[in-house]
């Protein structure tokens, strides 16, 4: 049974792909034939009007099927990136000093961090989370949610201001975070903060690493094909 279903879908995909590829050629051929019909001065004498109507109707049917089978285009309206305030900027020396003051790393770990900073390309214009500036503070889930809220809301505020799109006009919300996965979810934080519509299609992706960003874009594209004429907000942290 599975083999039959697989063969059916394979053949359906093959014929659909062939039709989409060959439709422009068929349209050109039929257009040329219709052009020949209309450039003849004795069209009415040598051609049956029924044939002409059949060709025009067949051409219209092909165009309709082609437009119906062609997936709608998906466009990027705009994007925004969050930039932290200057108070969260830190140099390499300051970061090493804070790591040393924390008392959580021995000399070997400090040297390793110094080499990692040097080889990673992180310079003195780098921003770090607020918690990094408090070496003795014990990190809690609340700190992570506050940091996520600062990043997400800051980027969305800039995006909505640039595009002039109202939060109520957003139909799809996809939030992905490669490390923080909380309950309530990050997507619920965004919905409650911006008072998004109650029937919004909301998705929260977590635990997938950096690949979650690509997965979120692919999911948004599929959802926009299923719900055309919609706005999708994708947030990647």
User: Could you give the domains of the chain?
Assistant: 2-69 (no CATH), 86-236 (3.40.47.10)
Dump pLDDT digits (tens) for 154-179. Answer: 999 999 999 999 999 999 999 998 77
pTM of the model: 0.67
Per-residue model confidence (pLDDT) at position 167:
94
Dump pLDDT digits (tens) for 118-141. Answer: 888 777 888 888 877 877 778 888
Contact call for residues 46 and 40 (beta carbons, < 8 A): yes
Contact call for residues 181 and 211 (beta carbons, < 8 A): no
Contact call for residues 52 and 37 (beta carbons, < 8 A): yes
Contact call for residues 183 and 149 (beta carbons, < 8 A): no
Phi, psi of 90 (to 5 degrees): -145, 145
């Amino acid at each position: 049974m599975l083999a039959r279903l697989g063969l059916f879908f394979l053949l359906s995909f093959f014929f659909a792909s062939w039709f989409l590829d060959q439709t422009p050629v068929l349209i050109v051929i039929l257009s040329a034939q219709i052009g020949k019909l209309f450039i003849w001065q004795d069209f009415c004498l040598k051609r049956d009007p029924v044939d002409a109507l059949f060709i025009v109707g067949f051409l219209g049917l092909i165009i309709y099927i082609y437009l119906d089978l062609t997936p709608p285009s998906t466009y990027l309206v705009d994007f925004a990136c969050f930039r932290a305030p200057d108070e969260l900027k830190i140099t390499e020396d300051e970061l090493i000093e804070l790591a040393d003051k924390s008392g959580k790393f021995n000399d070997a770990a400090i040297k390793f961090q110094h080499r990692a900073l040097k080889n990673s390309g992180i310079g003195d214009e780098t921003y770090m989370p607020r918690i990094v500036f408090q070496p003795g503070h014990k990190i809690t889930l609340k700190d992570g949610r506050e940091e996520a809220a600062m990043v997400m809301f800051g980027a969305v505020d800039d995006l909505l201001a640039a595009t002039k799109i109202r939060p109520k006009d957003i139909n799809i919300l996809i939030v992905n975070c490669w490390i923080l996965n909380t309950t309530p979810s990050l997507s619920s934080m965004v919905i409650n903060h911006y008072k998004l519509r109650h029937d919004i299609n909301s998705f929260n992706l977590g635990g997938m690493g950096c690949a979650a960003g690509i997965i979120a874009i692919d999911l948004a594209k599929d959802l926009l094909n299923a719900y055309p004429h919609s706005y999708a907000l994708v947030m990647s942290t």
